[in-house]
Amino acid sequence: MVKQKITSFIIMFALSLNLFSCSNENETIEIFFQKGISPKSMAVKLKEADLIQSTGVFVAIVKLFGWSKELKAGRYEFNKKDGILKILKKIKNGQSLNVKITIPEGFDIDKIGKLLEDKYIGSRIVFVETAKKQNMEGFLLPETYFIDPAATEKDIIKIMNDEFNKFWTKKLEIRAEELNMTKKDIITLASIVEKEAVSANERPVIAGIFYNRLAKKMRLESCSTVLYAMGINKERLTFDDLKFNSPYNTYKHAGLPPGPICNPGKETIMSVLFPKKTSYLYFVSKGDGTHLFATTLNEHVSQKNDTKKMIKKAKNEKKKSLS
């Protein structure tokens, strides 16, 4: 008890004199504290950045004021001229910098969860479980967000879904009705187009092709839906892959899959709402991000054979240039 009182007196006296300011340099340093970090680990990071002189004193002050459970995770900006008490108060009050995160178009909830986890914001598993329970696949708008590092997975899902709801206006709802499509139908089809079309110019064309196939009761036959069903990512599917048993497999089942396979961007959603009218029913990748389009099956088969030769020739030429 006496030892504790002496320690408290020394700490308070030193703080009053600001003896724990590490430097007079006007240098700003950014430090990130992940969720669940202990005061001791915080102190180590601060010491390594030359922001405090003693990890022991830092931990002792935290214990003295009973702040062990009040220090908040986040990305903070400190100045070397700050005293230890100013640094601690900033962490306790959660005066952190928001983390900039860009969600690419076409990311599914699993990839979004991994991206957030890589940025030390939440858990991928918790994010995925929460988003799936809320049926959020497709409705988390790809954008650049500035997120509080202390935000929960549920908070982040709400932020992204709110952004989607701002984009999905009454005007777009009416346009979907004109196409005899629900909002979910539009987003489901847009998610497939997002995965199939690389070139922005081709998105309305490919969207139009899928509409044509739906109108003729033809299967969509999108490789992307099979990959989503299988939960894998690879360049080419085998014939066995195309037989994969899932309602998402559009090679086996006609019509749209049960729901979106990723989160499409605004432009892709607009291309599905305003598709280009053509007579095309087929498309095949040229291997460079663009496609060849065909109206008949014979034309499509011929194009597939031609593109296979082109891709094979390009690969051989690349091998020769590297050898």
DSSP per residue, 26-84: --EEEEEE-TT--HHHHHHHHHHTTS-S-HHHHHHHHHHHT-TTT---EEEEEETTS-H
Domain made up of 2-92: CATH architecture: 2-Layer Sandwich (3.30)
- Residue pair 237/221 in contact (Cβ under 8 Å)? The answer is no
Half-sphere exposure of 220 (CA within 13 A, CB side): 27
Tell me 96's DSSP state: P
Neighbouring-strand partners of residue 145: 101
What pLDDT score does 12 carry? 56
- Spell 242-271 as b/e; 16+ CB within 10 A means b: eebebebbbbbeeebbebbbbbbbeebbbb
Dihedral pair phi/psi, residue 304, rounded to 5°: -60, -45
Q: Domain spanning 99-167: which superfamily?
A: Endolytic murein transglycosylase (3.30.1490.480)
Structure tokens at 154: 């549920």
What pLDDT score does 218 carry? 95
Contacts of 240 (CB under 8 A, 6+ apart): none
- C-alpha separations of 152 from 35, 127, 148, 159, 313 in Å: 10, 9, 9, 11, 50
What pLDDT score does 314 carry? 65
Helix (H) or strand (E) holding 99: strand 99-102
Q: What is the pLDDT along the chain (323 residues), one digit of tens a residue?
A: 555 555 555 555 555 444 455 566 778 888 888 777 899 999 999 999 888 888 888 899 899 889 988 888 878 889 888 888 889 988 888 888 888 899 999 999 999 999 999 988 889 999 999 999 999 999 999 999 989 877 899 999 999 999 999 999 999 999 999 999 999 999 999 999 999 998 999 999 999 999 999 999 999 999 999 999 998 888 788 888 888 999 999 999 999 999 999 999 999 999 999 999 999 999 988 888 889 999 999 898 888 888 877 777 767 666 666 66
Query: Residue ranges per domain, the chain?
Result: 2-92, 99-167, 180-278
Structure tokens at 2: 């006496």
Tell me 288's DSSP state: S
Domain 2-92 identical in fold to domain 99-167: yes
- Residue pair 225/250 in contact (Cβ under 8 Å)? The answer is yes
- Residue pair 91/72 in contact (Cβ under 8 Å)? The answer is yes
